[in-house]
Amino acid sequence: MPHSTGLIYSDAYQSYRFSPDHPFNPIRLLWTYELIQELRLLSPAELVAPKPANDEDLLRVHAASYIAEVRRLSQGGQVNESSLLYGLGTEDDPGFPGMHDAAALAAGGSLAGARALADGHLLHAFNLGGGLHHAFAAQAAGFCIYNDIALAILALRDRGLRVAYIDIDVHHGDGVQEIFYRDPQVLTVSFHENGRYLFPGTGGVQELGAGSGLGATLNVPLEPFTDDASWLEMFEAVVPAALATFRPDVLVTLHGCDGHVLDPLADMRLSTRFYWRTAARLHELAHTFAAGRWLALGGGGYELLRVVPRAWTLVWAEMRGTPLPEDAEVPADFNRRHQPPGAEPLPRLVVDPQDFVPPLDRQSEIAGRNRATLARLRQISPLL
């Protein structure tokens, strides 16, 4: 039997870089890969090299005119009015040389994982370079050019599999939701900071799907400064119940770690302990409801060194069946090599200590508001 778990990664993922000072920096993927290796959490049989998605693949989700515009800008074309209508050439999504190839490679990585699961070659797969959940059929948004998640879900749907997509990135998974909003065979569940305060401004509890897909969309908008305990409470209240009703054949999960308290682009107060615990829970749920089939994707995360490598290493360790203990240490050589001059020391532990995030005086009020949101969702969702 082939190895049951695959890490999808290539150094070529470093080509997905908008500019030197853009917050979406692929160096975080390389550092995650290094940390995984230095903790001896990867065998040669587990490494899967991605191949670019081809035009036939991309056209399953994206408009031909949009793909053509991505290609034009990739080849040095100037930004014009048409580019801006496609969301390209903006501050978030500026064009860069080789953009099409870089985005197609990320998409191809998620496709490879989905196809390996559907064919039975892998049971679990994690694409570090995937998770571009803001891309729409004909529009770039939020650092996302091609929607690798939608391509992967369609590949699974082609095999007749019901897919549950669970997104714990701090930003609403708007692109994936839009693409599958009318599909009753795809459940989309997004936990995110309330759109009143954070990009993209969507993801209210009233967004439940449409047509035959009505009810197959769930959104849990959380209050700013939500901590591990409250977010985990909402996760446990929603995900197991939704999966029990929906009965998926496969889980696709997005592990954006931009809800961490150190992340510069959001307002949450999570620790790597949260990502450690949610990975373990999703692993359990995959085996309970989906015969173990589980495709995980990276997503957001903008504290490139202190957070992303630790959070995603915890996901991978759990996925491969060798979860790290609570007292696991970051290898001293890793920290010594990457320690920024003059900065405070890099974290010594992979899992943040219990007291890493000091409690706020308003924490019980924030948790209460999240429970009120959950109560509203339960009133209107047929899945809960």
For 190-209, write each residue's pLDDT tens digit: 999 999 999 999 999 999 99
Cα 78 to Cα 98: distance, rounded to the nearest angstrom? 14
Q: Give the list of residues 6+ apart from residue 44 with CB closer than 8 angstroms, or none.
A: none
How many domains are there within the chain? 1
Q: Give the list of residues 6+ apart from residue 249 with CB closer than 8 angstroms, or none.
A: 156, 160, 161, 162, 163, 290, 291, 293
Task: For residues 291-302, give the mean pLDDT.
Answer: 98
Within 13 Å and on the Cβ side, how many CA atoms surround 30? 11
Task: For residues 22-37, give the mean pLDDT.
Answer: 98
Is 80 within a domain? Answer: no
Contact present, 222 and 194 (Cβ < 8 Å): yes
In this structure, what is the dihedral angle of CA atoms 371, 372, 374, 377, given to the nearest 10 degrees?
180
Nearest Cα neighbor of 305 from 76, 15, 28 is 28
Q: What is the pLDDT of residues 83-93, one digit of tens each?
A: 999 999 999 99
pLDDT at 2: 41
Cα 30 to Cα 357: distance, rounded to the nearest angstrom? 27
pLDDT at 3: 61
What is the number of other CB atoms lying within 10 angstroms of the CB of residue 59?
Answer: 13
Higher pLDDT, 82 or 3: 82
pLDDT at 1: 34
Contact present, 378 and 234 (Cβ < 8 Å): no
Segment (H or E) for 166: strand 163-167
pLDDT at 73: 97
Task: Give the whole-number percent of the chain exceeding pLDDT 90.
Answer: 99
Cα 54 to Cα 96: distance, rounded to the nearest angstrom? 19
Is 63 within a domain? Answer: no
Cα 110 to Cα 131: distance, rounded to the nearest angstrom? 8
Is 55 within a domain? Answer: no
Return mean pLDDT, the chain: 97
Q: What is the pLDDT of residues 114-143, one digit of tens each?
A: 999 999 999 999 999 999 999 999 999 999
CATH number, residue 159: 3.40.800.20
Residue 124 known to be catalytic: no
Is 352 within a domain? Answer: yes
Is 13 within a domain? Answer: yes
**Helix 308-319 with 27-38: angle, nearest 10 deg:** 50
Q: Which residues span the domain enclosing 230?
A: 5-50+108-380
pLDDT at 170: 98
Cα 205 to Cα 382: distance, rounded to the nearest angstrom? 12
Catalytic residue from among 134, 171, 172, 255: 134
Is 180 within a domain? Answer: yes
Q: Is pLDDT above 80 for 59? A: yes
Is 9 within a domain? Answer: yes
Nearest Cα neighbor of 296 from 193, 142, 168 is 168
Task: For residues 140-149, give the mean pLDDT.
Answer: 98
Cα 313 to Cα 304: distance, rounded to the nearest angstrom? 13
Is 363 within a domain? Answer: yes
Task: For residues 251-267, give the mean pLDDT.
Answer: 98
pTM exceeds 0.75, yes or no: yes
